Structure 1
Amino acid sequence: MPPFFSSLTLACFSARAGRSLKKLSLIATVSLLLAPNAPTHAAKVEHQPDLSAIQTVVVIFAENRSFDNLYRGFPGAETSANLPPDKFQQKDRDGSVLKELPPVWGGLTARGIPNPITQSMTEHLPNKPFAVDDPASFNVPLNTLTHDLWHRFYQNQMQINHGKNDMFVAWADTGAMPMGYWNGSHMKMWKIAEKYTMADHFFMGAFGSSFLNHQWLACACAPFYPNADTSPSHPSIVTANTAGDALIVAANSPHSALDGVPKFVRDGNLTPDFHAVNTMQPAYQPSGNKPADGQDPRFADPSRPTTLPPQTIPTVGDRLSEKNISWAWFSGAWQHVLDHGNAYPMPDFQYHHQPYNFYANYAPGTTAREQHLQDGGLNGSRFIKLIDEGKLPQVSFYKPQGNLNEHSGYADIESGDSHIADLISHLEKSPQWQHMLVIVTYDENGGLWDHVAPPKGDRWGPGSRIPAIIVSPFARRHYVDKTVQDTTSIIKFLTERYALRPLDGLVQRDQGIEASTGKPLGDLTGALILPKAR
């Protein structure tokens, strides 16, 4: 069976079997087309793209930016630049339109910044998006650290407000900050996006946090904490509404967003049915939790409330290994932190951004860990060396170290933008370039507003819209891809390209997107011009 049809049958048709007689009939029809000596088989395959032309896949996963925050006004894209005023006005917690934006609580710039933009300087902003770097206003350049924002599972859903995207200020801890945006046309990655393909309907795979969205890239799932109600993490189980999409507001919470940060009965990291959705720490080092006294130093203290028990659900890495596809998760500064410890502001390694370190299959001492959890080098030096030597595995995931990932609060935009653009420059010169696909995207929106409503998928997402740039010799040039996609689309492409067994989360998300949009979840191929399969 040709690779594309084999993967399509496994990843799509089988996933939808049983949904209706019509779909079962479609599967039967495709089976007939694939039967030996079927006269229409060759003609059918000739019109399909040959995914085998892609031999090296690279996923670069930056941090915490919405599409409108960085790419407002991008040519050909749907952005907030041309919205009428009634489409971006934010509402208060009672549903009324805010007369103005609240101040940025605590100030717009992070602590220790010279000439800071203080809270008082942000008072009385009009109820609309504002340019952080406008020379006539705040004049904060791209190399400045700005205030971090809530980016949490339930708050993201409350901000989206059933697709209206009009409560980002109401359910934030930073007042007006979600409505800030930058003139991204000064970024190097803006120029690269103009050269290749920008996907402007690409959404974060899961609502909320960096932790959950890194897990989503690995397993298309929310990790599970068994017996959490009798565990050290019991106090972290949230109090949510019956729909499971909002926290219960505390009686002493400020009534209006103009009066202060909202309060909840109980926020935390675990859902009422014990799924981990906000930041947890891996059970293995490097971890934000140190080993317990007398414990194996390679492990984290299991008695700490944020230590997540090792996970066992299948990941896309497991599926790649089943097919003997070479792959690795490259972490910037991984070995440096193991050898020398972590430090702020550099490398500011983020432990919860390393999803495979949460899984029992990649525990210390395993061959799988040695093969697949790879050091990216300080400032990405080892990853760049492998690029230049043409020694990348078939599938590479690259996570920049903290100070280079663009996360509000501890990283600036310019440093991460320059780092990723430099990676692209090396990739374009790599011996593997001619058969390469590169996806540059962000884990999640970082609490920053975007005006495009996410499609309905499933309980976990998708969340807000994020940038995604497709770079490849096969990428359409100067193109904006309107296909509805999310982080799960990366898993879908890998599943189709390598005929993997589909993960349950991929099947569920694909079905959910098709039910709400009438089309399957995109698989990145809309950005590509590939040779035809023979």
Structure 2
Amino acid sequence: MAIRHILSLSIGLLSAMAHSASIQQVPTTPVKHVVVVMLQDESFDRYFGRYPIAENKPGEVAFHAKADTPKVAGFTKQVMTHNPNLTNPFRLAPAEPTCDLGYGPLAQKASYNHGQNNMFIWLDSEAPSNSINDDGCFPQSVMGYYDGNTVHALWEYAQHYALADHFFASDYSSTASGLINEIAGGTKGVLPKRVPGVDYHDDLIGNNYPLYDDGSSGRGLVHLTRANIGDLLNQHKVSWGAFVGGFAPTSHVSGRAVMASRSLNQQGSIEPDYIPSNEPFQYFKSTANPHHLPPLSDKTIGLSDQANHQYDLSLFWTALRNQQLPAVSFVIPKTGQNGHVGSSSPLDEQTFLQTLITRLQKSPQWSNTAVMLVWNNSDGWYDHITPPKAPRGMIGLGYGPRLPFLIVSPLAKHNYVEHKMLDQGSVLRFIEDNWQLGRLGKHTADYYAHSLDDMFAFHQQKTTS
């Protein structure tokens, strides 16, 4: 029996290695490695509304912008002092805890009130009150923002690399559907149709757990049958992987993997490292790893084997150390560091980002790597710019809130702000164009998305890290 097991593993390893040898797809730009960091729950104004001006109060990490820092479409005097909402935007201190508004897709859309942008404090069409929600949020909390004394690392990345100030969600979304949008360009066609969390357009608007995950339980599990970016990468034999915090099982019960690791965040809360709805590839049978199986060996990370391209985050560091990063990596931090309000904070989020980017910068692969920092949705936080109308043929509720977006790479333009309209589909489009994958469909966000090319300096001397 042991011999059969060894033979099976050997055959699988040889098959994966043969697949590796067959990979011939050459990128069309100097970018050989894309690392998409999938973060959560921030609007552009909440992180960059005051960029590049920080208050620099005593005891806080000081931020001083470069003299040639370009302007962004941030807060204006009118927005700061005569806001159409019931409260003007107000600054949050670094140590001030964050909270979860709990705004769903429909409430997010209603906040803009047909371009008047005056309903952000109203919760789900109900008049505001002085009561707080279960997570400790006052209705007025939606107007809070941070400056460079809190999101210091992000502002520094903007100073040295490329920031977009008109980057929008591809749709109004929940946590789960926002992450799915980032890999599939939409959530239409979710199954089953008649469960809470699925709207009458067959779009996912709730945080239903994925069907193909041992960590999922209860009613309302859903899945999608359409293609995601992983399918295109597989079809064209491009190496890729999703590296997820807490994905490795801590035990097995009745043949099912149990992911029970937990971590303390900087607010003193113990959070589960893995939540199934934070792993978008698990919603698709074609890219799921239901039992959280490890790869056959370190050499098959990024290739097709029993792990099906879904890995624990620790294997990203393994691949980086071995100089074997896949061509495309989706990095999903553990819950306490993914920026999701209520379970994470800007400081937790930045701790992870600084670790990730610093380690990448020290790698020989850094010279041809592009790190893209992408947020899934805004959680309802205030942003003063109304999302543009979506093309008639695009699936979903329409372009969603404006989000932060940065490209951190020696190939990115230096201290650059992109003002062109972009969205989450633009990240998909870059991957598709760079490896000539084609599009996910004629109604998905990537089909209509604008290019990220202007944020790169391919024709210029590489910026220094």
Structure with greater proportional strand content: 2
1:368-424 deviations in Å (ceiling 9; x for gaps): 6614111113xxxx3234223322100000000000112111112101112102211
Letter in 1 for 2:89: P
Q: Report the equivalent of 2:240.
A: 327
Q: 3-state SS of the aligned residue for 1:61? A: strand
Q: 3-state SS of the aligned residue for 1:271? A: coil
8 Å CA contact 1:388–1:426 kept in 2: the answer is no
Q: 3-state SS of the aligned residue for 2:35? A: strand
Structure-2 separation of matches of 1:163 and 1:51: 39
Structure 2 stretches lacking a partner, 5+ long: 1-26, 53-70, 125-132, 251-256, 264-269, 294-303, 461-465
Q: Report the equivalent of 2:416.
A: 479
Instruction: Flag the 1:347–1:227 CA change in 2: closer, same or farther, 3 A.
Output: closer
Alpha-carbon offset, residue 149 of structure 1: 0.7
1:324-368 deviations in Å (ceiling 9; x for gaps): 000011101210555552546244422101011111113447956
Q: Report the equivalent of 2:59.
A: none
Alpha-carbon offset, residue 506 of structure 1: 6.1
Q: Report the equivalent of 2:286.
A: 361
Q: Report the equivalent of 1:527.
A: 455
8 Å CA contact 1:128–1:179 kept in 2: the answer is yes
Alignment of 1:409 onto 2:374: no
Q: Report the equivalent of 1:493.
A: 430
1:31-73 deviations in Å (ceiling 9; x for gaps): xxxxxxxxxxxxxxxxxxx943111111011111111111222
Q: Report the equivalent of 1:58.
A: 35
8 Å CA contact 2:38–2:376 kept in 1: the answer is yes
8 Å CA contact 2:230–2:287 kept in 1: the answer is no
1:85-129 deviations in Å (ceiling 9; x for gaps): 576321xxxxxxx4xxxxxxxxxxxxxxxxxxxxxxxxxxxx211
Q: Report the equivalent of 1:45.
A: none
Q: 3-state SS of the aligned residue for 2:51? A: coil
Alignment of 1:360-509 (within 5 A): 360-363=285-288, 364=290, 370-377=307-314, 382-457=315-390, 458=394, 459-504=396-441
Q: Report the equivalent of 2:83.
A: 88
Aligned with residue 352 of structure 1, among 277, 280, 301: 277
Q: Report the equivalent of 2:231.
A: 318
Q: Report the equivalent of 1:184.
A: 148
8 Å CA contact 2:188–2:201 kept in 1: the answer is no
Alignment of 1:155 onto 2:107: yes
Letter in 1 for 2:414: R
Structure-2 separation of matches of 1:531 and 1:130: 41
Aligned with residue 128 of structure 1, among 88, 105, 109: 88
Q: 3-state SS of the aligned residue for 2:312? A: strand
Q: Report the equivalent of 1:10.
A: none
8 Å CA contact 1:199–1:468 kept in 2: the answer is yes
Alignment of 1:120-269 (within 5 A): 127-133=87-93, 141-142=94-95, 144-171=96-123, 174-186=138-150, 187-226=152-191, 228-229=193-194, 233=195, 236=196, 269=197
8 Å CA contact 1:388–1:431 kept in 2: the answer is no
Q: Report the equivalent of 1:105.
A: none
Q: Report the equivalent of 1:299.
A: none
Letter in 1 for 2:118: D
Q: 3-state SS of the aligned residue for 1:52? A: coil
Alpha-carbon offset, residue 275 of structure 1: 2.5
Q: Report the equivalent of 1:305.
A: 219
8 Å CA contact 1:362–1:368 kept in 2: the answer is no
Q: 3-state SS of the aligned residue for 1:178? A: helix
Letter in 2 for 1:333: G
Instruction: Flag the 1:227–1:399 CA change in 2: closer, same or farther, 3 A.
Output: closer
Instruction: Flag the 1:505–1:368 CA change in 2: closer, same or farther, 3 A.
Output: farther
Alignment of 1:285 onto 2:213: yes
Q: 3-state SS of the aligned residue for 1:470? A: strand
Q: 3-state SS of the aligned residue for 1:57? A: strand
Alpha-carbon offset, residue 183 of structure 1: 2.1
Q: Report the equivalent of 2:7.
A: none
Letter in 1 for 2:46: N
Structure-1 separation of matches of 2:179 and 2:234: 19
Letter in 1 for 2:221: T
Alpha-carbon offset, residue 522 of structure 1: 2.3
Structure-2 separation of matches of 1:59 and 1:340: 23
Q: Report the equivalent of 2:128.
A: none
8 Å CA contact 1:320–1:500 kept in 2: the answer is yes
1:165-198 deviations in Å (ceiling 9; x for gaps): 2211113564111101122344222211211111
Letter in 2 for 1:357: Q
Q: 3-state SS of the aligned residue for 2:331? A: strand
CA RMSD of aligned residues (A): 2.4
Aligned with residue 341 of structure 1, among 260, 263, 285: 260
Q: Report the equivalent of 1:69.
A: 46
Q: Report the equivalent of 1:255.
A: none
Alpha-carbon offset, residue 145 of structure 1: 3.6
Letter in 2 for 1:79: G
Instruction: Flag the 1:410–1:81 CA change in 2: closer, same or farther, 3 A.
Output: farther
Letter in 2 for 1:341: A
8 Å CA contact 2:164–2:404 kept in 1: the answer is yes
Structure-1 separation of matches of 2:192 and 2:369: 44
Q: 3-state SS of the aligned residue for 2:356? A: helix
8 Å CA contact 1:312–1:359 kept in 2: the answer is yes
Structure having the higher Rg = 1
Structure-1 separation of matches of 2:83 and 2:214: 42
Q: 3-state SS of the aligned residue for 2:220? A: coil
Q: 3-state SS of the aligned residue for 2:110? A: helix
Letter in 1 for 2:44: F
Structure with greater proportional helix content: 1
- The TM-score, its normalising length taken from structure 1, stands at 0.66
Structure-2 separation of matches of 1:274 and 1:506: 14
Letter in 2 for 1:209: S
Q: 3-state SS of the aligned residue for 1:466? A: coil
Q: 3-state SS of the aligned residue for 2:37? A: strand
Q: 3-state SS of the aligned residue for 1:474? A: coil
